[in-house]
Amino acid sequence: MNNPRQFQQLVTDVEELLASLDDEHSPRFHELRDRVEATMSQAKGSLRKHGNATASKLRDYAAIADDYITGYPRTAFASGILIGAALGFLLASARSSD
């Protein structure tokens, strides 16, 4: 599913397939079922490809963060404390305003 047009085609094929269910012996039914199966296969492949790319990017970002923390542990520790304190302050002020 690389674009909205492919998704729309899948929806159209499924709607036509469902509309033809009353006559499942017709050649049109088998043609639509085959098209839906092919489109679903493409969609699954596309989702797998995009999922793998996202996981790869997350691993790259984790490796960068690990390298930074290993190289600059004191700065990373101080940054963590600062971020934690800022989040704590924001949460406390949000609770007190309720």
Mean pLDDT of the chain: 80
Averaged over 73-96, what is the pLDDT? Answer: 89
End-to-end alpha-carbon separation of the chain, Å? 45
- pLDDT of 65 reads 86
Q: pLDDT for 32-80, tens place per residue?
A: 777 777 877 777 777 777 778 888 888 898 999 888 888 988 988 898 8
Measure the CA–CA gap between 38 and 34, rounded to whole angstroms: 6
Q: Could you tell me the sign of the dihedral formed by the alpha carbons of 83, 89, 95, 97, in that order?
A: negative
Q: Are 81 and 73 in contact (CB under 8 A)?
A: no
Confidence of residue 84 (pLDDT cuts 50, 70, 90): very high
- The pTM of the full predicted model, rounded to 2 decimals, is 0.41
CA distances to 82, 89, 92, 93 from 96, in Å: 21, 11, 6, 5
